[in-house]
Amino acid sequence: MSAGGSHDVIDSSLPERRRIRLSTLIVLGLMGAFGPLAMDVYIAALPQLGAELHASDSAVQATVSTCLLGLAGGQLIAGPVSDRIGRRPTLLIGTALFLVASVLCAIAPDIWTLIACRVLQGVAGATGIAVSRAAIRDHFDGSEVARVLAQLTVITGVAPIAAPLIGGALTLVTDWRGIFLVLGGIGALLFLAVLIWVPESLRSEHRLANGIGAVFRQFGVLVRDPLFLRFALVGAAAGAAFFTYISMTSIVLQGEYGVSPVMFSLLFGINATALIAGAQLNSLLIPRVGIRALLTAVLGLAVLGAGLVVLFAGLGLPLAVVQTTLGVALVTNGMQSPNSTALALAHHARGAGTASALQGALSFVFGALVPPVVAACFGTTAVSMGATMGVCSLVALLLSIGRGSFSRSRDGVDPAAR
Each residue's pLDDT tens digit, 243-253 = 888 878 877 88
Per-residue exposure over 240-249, b if at least 16 CB sit within 10 Å of its own CB, e if not: bbbbbbbbbb
Tell me what pLDDT residue 211 has. 65
Q: In DSSP terms, which residues pair with 9 in a beta bridge?
A: 21
The mean pLDDT value of the chain amounts to: 84
Say what the pLDDT of residue 91 is.
97
**E strands, 47-176, where?**
none
Q: What pLDDT does 330 receive?
A: 84
Residues 377 and 355: their CA atoms lie apart, in Å, by 33
Which pLDDT belongs to residue 403? 59
341 in a structural domain: yes
Domain that holds residue 214: 6-400
CA dist., res. 356 & res. 128, Å (int): 11
**49 within a domain of the structure (yes/no):** yes
Q: How far apart are CA 27 and CA 22, in angstroms?
A: 9
Q: Which residues contact 51 (CB under 8 A, 6 or more apart)?
A: none
Give the up-direction half-sphere exposure of residue 282: CA atoms within 13 A in the CB hemisphere.
39
Q: What is the per-residue pLDDT for 418?
A: 35
413 belongs to a structural domain: no
Give the CATH number of the domain where residue 27 resides: 1.20.1250.20
pLDDT at residue 6, as a whole number: 33
Give how far the C-alpha of residue 88 lies from the chain's centroid of Cα atoms, to the nearest Å.
20
C-beta of residue 343 within 8 angstroms of C-beta of residue 366: no
Q: Rounded distance, CA 343 to CA 282, Å?
A: 14
Q: Is residue 416 part of a domain?
A: no
Q: For residue 410, give the 3-state DSSP assignment.
A: coil
Q: Note whether residue 411 is domain-resident.
A: no
d(CA 381, CA 253): 9
Low-confidence ranges of the chain (pLDDT < 70): 1-19, 142, 157, 160-161, 210-212, 261, 402-418
Longest dimension (CA), the chain: 60
**Domain count along the chain:** 1
3-state secondary structure 264-317: HHHHHHHHHHHHHHHHHHHHHHHHHHCHHHHHHHHHHHHHHHHHHHHHHHHCCC
CA neighbor of 356 nearest in space, from 95, 119, 163, 90: 90
Predicted pLDDT at 351: 80
**pLDDT for position 53:** 94
In a domain, 407, yes or no: no
